[in-house]
Structure 1
Amino acid sequence: MTIVVLVTQKVDASELSGICSVGNTDPYALLAFSLIPKTLLVFLGTCFVIAGFASMCRERDSFRRRGTDTSKLDKLMFKMGLFCLLYIFPAVTQILCDIYAFNTAKRWYPTTIICKRSGGVESGHCHRPHLPQAEIYHLNLMMSLAMGASCAMWVLSPKTLLSWHRVLCCGMCRSAPQKTASTAAATRPLLEPPTAPPPHPPSHYVPMSTHSQNAWRPSKVV
């Protein structure tokens, strides 16, 4: 899609912020390259999130019926729910702002240009249209920054930094990272390997003495 936008020369600058993007002056470019793809992706992502949470809830109920601890699963579900809320809400808000920008570019710009060509408002041949609200364009920029901040909060975690540390070092670091108690517990096998049974005590044969052997001999009857 980026190649198509560059080939068709649909990149333009915003008159308010000066940021180059798609559809600032062309409403159909905004509809085809920004509004429709964002709407489809947010819809599909929301469906996948709902399906994932439903599956995780079923697994959690199954674990609880078997008496398994689900504290880690609950913590993961809370993190995922918070991330989805911080990402989907700005995405939906940005879609609404794009709809407003599409209507503005489709109606306000042509009306203003026709009014100026006919001599302006002073000539009395046209009426000045309502000015677009700049706050909505500012909100669109803020929501895009909020989406990036939520992704950064999810990606920049201690585990991710540790993984990048291992990749960048390539095994050439002096000291390997020490395992914490939680990591050691996670790598511990669920079932301990069976230990060998203890050896049997040695049995010693003690021969009977001559006196005891003679005691068991039959006596002669006189």
Structure 2
Amino acid sequence: PICLEDYKKPLPPCRSVCERAKAGCAPLMRQYGFAWPDRMRCDRLPEQGSPDTLCMDYNRTDLTTAAPPPAKPPLRGSKPGRGRGAAGGAAELQPELAVAEHVRYESTGPALCTVVFLLVYFFGMASSIWWVILSLTWFLAAGMKWGNEAIAGYAQYFHLAAWLLPSVKSIAVLALSSVDGDPVAGICYVGNQSLENLRGFVLAPLLIYLAIGSMFLLAGFVSLFRIRSVIKQQGGPTKTHKLEKLMIRLGLFTVLYTVPAASVVACLFYEQHNRPRWEATHNCPCLRDQQPDQARRPDYAVFMLKYFMCLVVGITSGVWVWSGKTLESWR
């Protein structure tokens, strides 16, 4: 607060303080699709030394040149200290102008970012659920001896589960304003800035889907092996040729999906386990010099492996499914 008891007027920051803050914050805001607020225009503030209006300027007494803007933006949720006098408070005004209480951000970010998030997250989770449903239908057909008509009778429930669950999760992410940017791929997703969101919306669902689908596949293979043993005992090895061919095809498709899916889960475990150290090393450069054993940097190859495995599942599954029999079944 100002130390003049008889001064009852408001004490705004000087124009130079606003310009310094804008120079540091405006490029970052434009990067995420936000414009500098009109109500924070610097030309509305008085210049330092104006005889009509008193304003706060940063402390110039101990520095020969003005301090440059901070090289790194403040961490989410961090706020600078307050109440160190008028001059000290003015010096700390720059990061303060960027917090949410002064700038009204949209709750879900730009519309294009939301669309990208929905395309990647919604359909990615839906594809994982469809693989679980595929494993379930194989188990019902091979292990429980269900016919095509019996399985087709539950088609509406399969569609309900495959589209409703990703919809609920996507709406929850948007409602919690948890969409953020992937610093490597440059797309909008969830869990890149919050470990809780990464574990709750990405890692846990993928791990559950992988475990349930693998369980159904394993049970189906056990049933097929039992059927194969019975056929061998009754009619000899020649009658098991078609069944063995089917088992090989199912086993190959299982490998083509489970290996990439398990690799993605492993990469996510690696990320959520090491991210606190990465952030500490990034935000405190002195840690690399004083405690090199505690300094950690992310392995770029692991992130490339994660993105590759996310994409290769769709490629292998598409090549496998798009066959003549698939087209005939649709006719």
Query: How does the TM-score come out when normalised to structure 2?
Result: 0.45
More relative contact order in 1 or in 2 (CA 8 Å, sep 6+)? 1
1:70 aligns with 2:247: no
1:126 shift after superposition: 7.9
Question: Does the C-alpha gap of structure 1 residues 112 and 56 become closer, same or farther in structure 2, counting only changes over 3 Å?
Answer: same
Which residue of the partner structure matches residue 157 of structure 1? 323
Specify the code of the residue in structure 2 equivalent to 1:142.
Answer: F
Deviation of 1:129 (Å): 2.9
**In structure 2, which of residues 196, 200, 203 is the aligned counterpart of residue 28 of structure 1?**
196
Shift in Å at residue 110 of structure 1?
4.2
Aligned to 1:138: 304
Per-residue deviation, residues 130-151 of structure 1 (Å, max 9, x unmatched): 3211111100001111211222
Displacement, 1:9?
1.8
Residue matched to 1:16 = 184
Provide the alpha-carbon RMSD of the alignment. 2.2
User: Is 2:265 the counterpart of 1:95?
Assistant: yes
Counterpart secondary structure, 2:180? strand
Q: What CA deviation, in whole Å up to 9, does each residue of 1:155-214 have, x standing for no partner? A: 2121112233x2xxxxxxxxxxxxxxxxxxxxxxxxxxxxxxxxxxxxxxxxxxxxxxxx
Note if 1:107 corresponds to 2:273. Answer: no
Cα deviation code 1:97-118 (max 9, x no counterpart): 00111123333224533x2xxx
* Aligned-partner residue type, residue 9 of structure 1: S
Counterpart contact for 2:180–2:188, Cα < 8 Å: yes
What SS does structure 1 have at the residue aligned with 2:235? coil
Kindly report which structure 2 residues correspond to 1:1-222, keeping only aligned pairs within 5 A, or say none.
Answer: 1-67=169-235, 69-113=239-283, 115=284, 120-121=285-286, 129-164=295-330, 166=331
Over the matched positions of the two proteins, sequence identity in percent amounts to: 36
Preserved CA contact (<8 Å) 1:24 1:105: no
Question: CA–CA distance in 2 between the matches of 1:137 and 1:79?
Answer: 30
Q: Which residue of 1 aligns with 2:29?
A: none
Structure 2 stretches lacking a partner, 5+ long: 1-168
The runs of 5 or more residues in structure 1 that have no matched partner are: 167-222
C-alpha separation in 1, matches of 2:280 and 2:269: 17
* 8 A contact 1:25–1:105 mirrored in 2: no
Q: Which runs of 4+ in 1 moved over 4 A?
A: 124-128
Distance 1:96 1:142 in 2: 13
Higher Rg of the two aligned structures: 1
**TM-score by structure 1 length?**
0.65
Look up the equivalent residue of 1:79 and give its one-letter code.
R
2:136 corresponds to which residue? none
- Look up the equivalent residue of 1:121 and give its one-letter code: C
Name the CA shift for 1:28/1:111 in 2 (closer, same or farther; >3 Å): farther
